């Protein structure tokens, strides 16, 4: 590990000022950054520890029934919040499936969105062609192991996927990332927060230097929601595919509206807009639901080794939908 300077600001203004400096890495829970430092993914000149900055570790109600979750709230604290459990269960489910209890006690909701891909070539401790590590060096996965890679939104420069579980739930909830800079801030839909390879190869998110996540905001409650994660082993493995679904039901049990996001299929949570449109008016157990879901996969263009994930993603989507609607799969 290359030596670096360390600073611990005590106010948000101090943190914003420090984060503007080139070569600075920001530490919150540290569960990701420490791995980056060990592997060599990150080689900062200075680490700015914001874990003690006050005011970013609160969960507060918003007018209209929404919820504001500070960026430094620990994952387990988000999942344990009674409002989250009651009104946004999909987020609670995703958090519980994201990591061990020990990691969830340390990892923060804001930094979880900043996770980098788990592609083995990107994470390799030995030099390996990877455009994300070294732009222009190539993508080793294109000619190598590609069985855990993208179904949507990839290019020949990168076929990796984004691994965050909470991000998928937040995408299905139409959550908003609230950021701060020294001169202001902005509101970014979670669905636009991560960047696809066609948008940037040397950046994972739209965050600019000196811009920090202040909070994540949820809109109206989505009590009919569920998260399904398919993985090789149940004990805190990264997803092969995951699906987050929220539904609104009519009085007769038919679907009035649905939001569907898939995880581990692209470099951002992938919304199935076509399925959302076709599901309106159907009963959750209507055979036409299967056709509505399949229609959304017409845009899927899996890399060869990951083609098997399409069937898994369809099944996970249907199971999450039926669970959210309270129908036995």
- Give the end of a domain, one of 9, 32, 53: 53
Q: What CATH number is attached to the domain comprising 256? A: 3.30.390.50
H/E run at residue 290: helix 288-296
Distance CA 171, CA 180 (A): 21
Per-residue pLDDT, 236? 78
Please check whether residue 210 lies inside any domain of the structure: no
Per-residue pLDDT, 280? 98
Please check whether residue 309 lies inside any domain of the structure: yes
User: Rounded mean pLDDT of 178-197?
Assistant: 97
Please check whether residue 273 lies inside any domain of the structure: yes
Q: pLDDT (tens digit, 9 = 90+) per residue, 298-312? A: 999 999 999 999 999
Instruction: With both helix axes pointing from N to C terminus, report the angle between 309-324 and 288-296 in degrees, rounded to the nearest 10.
Output: 130
Residue 6 belongs to what domain range? 1-53
- 24-27 vs 46-49, strand pairing mode: parallel
Beta strands in 37-169 (DSSP E): 46-49, 59-61, 67-70
**DSSP reduced 3-state for 85:** helix
The model's pTM is 0.96
Beta strands in the chain (DSSP E): 5-7, 24-27, 46-49, 59-61, 67-70, 176-181, 184-189, 212-218, 225-230, 241-249, 255-263, 270-271
Q: How many domains does the chain have?
A: 2
Q: pLDDT (tens digit, 9 = 90+) per residue, 238-281? A: 999 999 999 999 999 999 999 999 999 999 999 999 999 999 99
Please check whether residue 256 lies inside any domain of the structure: yes
Please check whether residue 35 lies inside any domain of the structure: yes
Please check whether residue 32 lies inside any domain of the structure: yes
């Amino acid at each position: 590990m290359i030596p670096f300077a360390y600073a611990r600001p005590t106010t948000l203004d101090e943190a914003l000022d420090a984060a503007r400096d080139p070569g600075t890495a920001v530490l919150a829970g540290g569960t990701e950054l420490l791995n980056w430092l060990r592997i060599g993914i990150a080689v900062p000149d200075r680490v700015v520890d914001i874990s003690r900055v006050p005011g970013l570790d609160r969960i507060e109600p918003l007018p209209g029934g929404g919820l504001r979750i500070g960026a430094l709230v620990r994952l387990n604290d988000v999942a344990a919040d009674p409002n989250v459990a009651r009104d946004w269960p999909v987020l609670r489910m995703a958090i519980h499936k994201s990591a061990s209890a020990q990691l969830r006690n340390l990892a923060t909701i804001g930094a979880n969105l900043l996770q980098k891909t788990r592609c083995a070539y990107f994470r390799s401790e030995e030099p390996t062609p990877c455009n994300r590590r070294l732009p222009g060096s190539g993508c080793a996965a294109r000619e190598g192991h590609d069985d855990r890679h993208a179904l949507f939104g990839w290019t020949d420069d990168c076929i990796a996927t984004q691994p965050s579980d909470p991000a998928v739930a937040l995408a299905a909830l139409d959550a908003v990332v609230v950021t701060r800079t020294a001169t202001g801030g902005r509101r970014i839909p979670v669905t636009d927060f991560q960047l696809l390879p066609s948008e940037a190869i040397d950046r994972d998110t739209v965050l600019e230097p000196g811009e920090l996540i202040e909070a994540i905001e949820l809109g109206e409650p989505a009590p009919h929601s569920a998260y399904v994660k398919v993985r090789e082993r149940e004990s805190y493995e990264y997803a092969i595919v995951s699906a987050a679904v929220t539904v609104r039901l009519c009085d007769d049990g038919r679907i009035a509206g649905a939001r569907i996001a898939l995880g581990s299929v692209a470099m951002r949570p992938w919304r199935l807009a076509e399925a959302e449109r076709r599901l309106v008016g159907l009963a959750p157990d209507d055979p036409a639901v299967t056709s509505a879901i399949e229609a959304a996969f017409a845009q899927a263009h899996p890399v060869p080794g990951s083609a098997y994930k399409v069937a898994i993603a369809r099944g996970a989507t249907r199971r999450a939908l039926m669970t959210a609607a309270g129908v036995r799969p």
